[in-house]
Amino acid sequence: MPDRFFIYIYLYINYIMKLFITPNINNRICIRCNKSYKPTSGKQKVCINCRLPNEIRKLNYSKKWYKSDLDKHRLNLRISFNKYIKESRKEILSCLGGKCKKCGFNDYRALQLDHINGDGNKDRKLHMNSYKFYKHVKENISNFQILCANCNWIKRYENKEHGYKERIIRRKQKT
């Protein structure tokens, strides 16, 4: 069973990573197989080898649970994802002042995040989905400003940020 095999490897790697992260805890003796082992947290009583079957059962169970009502669970995931996106957008907008930097327009429905140096296109290609994009914005908030849709398009037009330049360069490289 390849599935089981990958789960084993995954859990083992997890265990080794945890050993690196956690501070040294003294070796303990497993209550099932009576062998000495290195615990990754203070609560463990059973060694990794004795714990694996149980972990696999848990993983399989959650997989089954997810598949038992696929539509419902997918919908729930999407709802919480959209909620996260909405909240991070609000958070970022209010963090950056909540209004257009050029004209002061403040209806959040038409406010857009603008990359100050005009690297927006490059960024969007690197961070394909909106989750990663917002995370990136949060980490590099000083690189961004708020512009309303009008000011943003005007800025793009004036600086030729709308990908027109790149397309021409690419076309020249092809021929």
Binding site for Zn ion (CB under 5 A): 30, 32-33, 47, 50, 100, 102-103, 105, 148, 151
Token pair of 71, please? Answer: 């539509």
What secondary structure does DSSP assign to 52-86, as a single string?
Answer: HHHHHHHHHHHHHHHHHTHHHHHHHHHHHHHHHHH
User: What three-state secondary structure class fits 40?
Assistant: coil
CB of 162 to Zn ion, least distance (A): 17
Measured from the CB atom, the residue of 16 and 103 that comes closer to Zn ion is 103
Measured from the CB atom, the residue of 30 and 137 that comes closer to Zn ion is 30
Q: What is the dihedral of CA 105, 109, 115, 120, to 10 degrees?
A: -140
Element (H, E) at 26: none
Measured from the CB atom, the residue of 33 and 75 that comes closer to Zn ion is 33
Beta carbons of 137 and 92 less than 8 angstroms apart: yes
CB of 34 to Zn ion, least distance (A): 7
Measured from the CB atom, the residue of 28 and 136 that comes closer to Zn ion is 28
CB of 123 to Zn ion, least distance (A): 21
CB of 121 to Zn ion, least distance (A): 20
